[in-house]
Structure 1
Amino acid sequence: MLLISLYYLYHLLFLLFSLGLSRPLTGTPAGTGQNRLAVFMPAHNEENVIASSVRSILASRYPGNKFDVYVIADNCTDRTAELARAAGALVLERENKTLRGKQHALKWAFEQINLDEYDAVVILDADNHVHPGFLGVLDHYLAAGHKVIQGYVETKNPGDSWVTANYAYMFWYLCRLQMARTRLGLSAWLAGTGLCISTDVLRRVGWNVTTLVDDVEYTCQLLLSVPVFYLLPLLAERVRIRRAWTYLLTAGAFFFTWIPITAYGVVTCDQKSWWRTRH
């Protein structure tokens, strides 16, 4: 009972603290475009959404010669690869009936390109749309020395139903907690999408994710790979101490995800997401 009480007290205190924090304007602070980025979108039979998602990224206010969009068409049986390519993405088509799912698709994709040509990779879901300044904000924090960055997620359609409104609140609540952790100099927990990882980190830690909860698993791998963490109250910027770093949530790097408008749609969507991982 004590542990449960402490858990909820932690959430309450961090939430109250976060309410006093102001978010930067969406798309700020923007970098100068000095980092070269590889954006990866794992997709399994996503022909209904992939083209608009690719166009959303390609419309970013970021130098066109400084980023590439890769769609990983993973065991697709529909027109995902064709539509992604027509929308302007570089398509990596993968067929593997044994190692299926997002985590394996990403590991395979990282091995298909020369990561030395990029400063960082960005991972997005196939139905994500990004704010035009999303990549620019990531560039700013990469230039400042941050190695792992989590973007701020919101629901694209919060007013469609009570289901989407509930998801919108959940995203707001979780991102607020992460803002508090970042302001206190603590590591943010990564989500499964909207994250940016320096290629230096990928070379050091790798991408060896095998579970369904790839976001939690990779967060733990990162934490275990760096032995020293320091709490620096009220400092948001990462401070290097014996090669330690924290993982930042940046509220200015803004992206959206679509949510089904009915409870049945949420259940079937979640089942589909799990099936994608083990299809």
Structure 2
Amino acid sequence: MANILFYTALILIWSMLLYHMFLMQGGYRHFATFEKVIPKWEKNMVDLPKVNVFIPAHNEEVVIRQTLEAMKRLYYPKELLEIVVINDNSSDCTGEIAAEYAAKYPFIRVIDTEPPNKGKGKSSALNEALRQTDGEVIVVYDADNTPEKMSVWYLVMGLLNDEQAAAIVGKFRVVNAKETWLTRFINIETITFQWMAQAGRWYWFGVTTIPGTNFAIRRSVVEELGGWDVKALAEDTELTIRVYEKGYHIRFFPKAITWEQEPETLNVWWKQRTRWARGNQYVVLKFLSQIKTLKRKSIIFDLFYFFFTYFLFFFGVILSNSLFIINLFYDLNLSIGNVALVLWGLAFLLFIAEVMIALSIETTEMNTSNFFHVIAMYFTYSQMWIILVIYSLYLEMKRVLFKQEVTWYKTERFDNKKK
């Protein structure tokens, strides 16, 4: 029995590793070709839509000023651009700082959330802004984001040149990557397992997941869907599934770039990633229960990917590690012997290869320091994710069983200017 369990665990682990290598190859190919359409697309940038940029903000005084500095530099006709800071029940100076910019720049506006959306989290804040604005295109940025000058232009360009796209997704980079050992790991994770994997999924399958920031979506689609789901901690993933179910697709266009702040302490990282994991687990359980009625095959594929990632893959890792540790103290008669060590060694090398392929596309990231950080990441950061996913699943199961209300956690920001 122990041998069967061990082989099952290895199959689960290697399936995910090989799949991610497949995605890395697709992502690399997408990176090499995606800019070729830009000269043709530029010609259609004549009849531009009005754009509302939504920035949900709850106690963001540490970062909101630099965010608005970036927003005022955006390349887009100002008469067609409205930057909307959604001041969601802030108890600090967020509202005052935003109001200061609104007084100077007519294209910047502040909205204070009202009941029933007040203080309920990001989805509720976005729904409030949706109710009070009228732009044809909605762009969403988190309050710690500093998008590059052309970001909104490229997001709108994607929508104008792809009529079937409900949304266009850009990529994001880590602005504080060199602050701590943790932000270095997150920077590597972001490039490899978020935007490169995103590019690979788009290249091979035409599937993209809406992130929490740096994306544009048609207002008509959001209204058709009834806004954002206030019960979803991962409102972006949940919205993605509903967009595909309505018959639209989502395009990944990494020419639109934003820079965002990442957690610099383990405590903040743990709370943020727990919310992410719980949010994705909620989405998987919500839509897998409706799988017989889902119309789009691409959605089913995506759901199984998230199910594999947040359930089966981590189950395989936990199972293999548990059997290995138990076998040290009690002979389980595992027949796999030295083959297990070889497979573990190959898995480690494959992990290194995948990450270095991803880092190679960013000229500043392919260096000796990151190589050693990738090695350390395998034995530390990656293992932390295992514990986190178990904890998140426990919280999500408890929420369902005891019908607890969803509590939104706002990621703590850091003032890097003081360092």
Shorter-chain TM-score bucket reads: 0.7 to 0.9
- Map of 1:187 onto structure 2: 207
- Map of 2:241 onto structure 1: 220
Q: Does the C-alpha gap of structure 1 residues 272 and 83 become closer, same or farther in structure 2, counting only changes over 3 Å?
A: farther
- Map of 2:58 onto structure 1: 44
Deviations 1:102-140 (A, max 9, x none): 111111221122x2xx22101111111100010110121
Output the TM-score relative to the length of structure 1. 0.81
Residues in 2 aligned to 1:17 and 1:208: alpha-carbon distance in whole angstroms: 31
- Map of 1:211 onto structure 2: 232
SS in 1 for 2:126: helix
- Map of 1:132 onto structure 2: 149
Matched, 1:35 2:53: no
Deviations 1:147-199 (A, max 9, x none): 20111011002122221111111111121111122223512011111121111
Higher RCO (C-alpha under 8 Å, 6+ residues apart): 1
Q: Is the 8 A contact 1:35 1:142 kept in 2?
A: no
Larger displacement relative to structure 2 (87-96 or 73-82): 87-96
Residues in 2 aligned to 1:21 and 1:180: alpha-carbon distance in whole angstroms: 7
Deviations 1:47-66 (A, max 9, x none): 12112211211111211112
SS in 2 for 1:266: helix
Residues in 1 aligned to 2:50 and 2:207: alpha-carbon distance in whole angstroms: 24
Residue type of the alignment partner of 1:181: R
> How many residues are matched?
254
Residues in 2 aligned to 1:151 and 1:134: alpha-carbon distance in whole angstroms: 8
SS in 1 for 2:139: strand
Matched, 1:12 2:21: yes
Residue type of the alignment partner of 2:260: T
SS in 2 for 1:38: strand
Output the TM-score relative to the length of structure 2. 0.56
* Matched-pair identity in %: 24
The alpha-carbon deviation at position 264 of structure 1 amounts to 4.1
Name whichever structure is richer in strand by fraction: 1
The alpha-carbon deviation at position 19 of structure 1 amounts to 2.6
Q: Is the 8 A contact 2:49 2:137 kept in 1?
A: yes
Residues in 2 aligned to 1:98 and 1:125: alpha-carbon distance in whole angstroms: 18
- Map of 1:93 onto structure 2: 112
Q: Is the 8 A contact 1:185 1:246 kept in 2?
A: no
SS in 2 for 1:183: helix
Residue type of the alignment partner of 1:68: E
Unaligned runs of 5+ in 2: 1-7, 103-107, 277-407, 412-419
Residues in 2 aligned to 1:86 and 1:272: alpha-carbon distance in whole angstroms: 32
Matched, 1:123 2:113: no
RMSD, matched Cα: 2.6
SS in 1 for 2:208: coil
Residues in 1 aligned to 2:114 and 2:273: alpha-carbon distance in whole angstroms: 23
The alpha-carbon deviation at position 200 of structure 1 amounts to 2.2
Task: Give the 5 Å matches for 1:142-161.
Answer: 142-144=159-161, 145=163, 146-161=165-180
The alpha-carbon deviation at position 17 of structure 1 amounts to 2.8
Residues in 2 aligned to 1:189 and 1:269: alpha-carbon distance in whole angstroms: 19
The alpha-carbon deviation at position 98 of structure 1 amounts to 7.4
- Map of 1:56 onto structure 2: 70
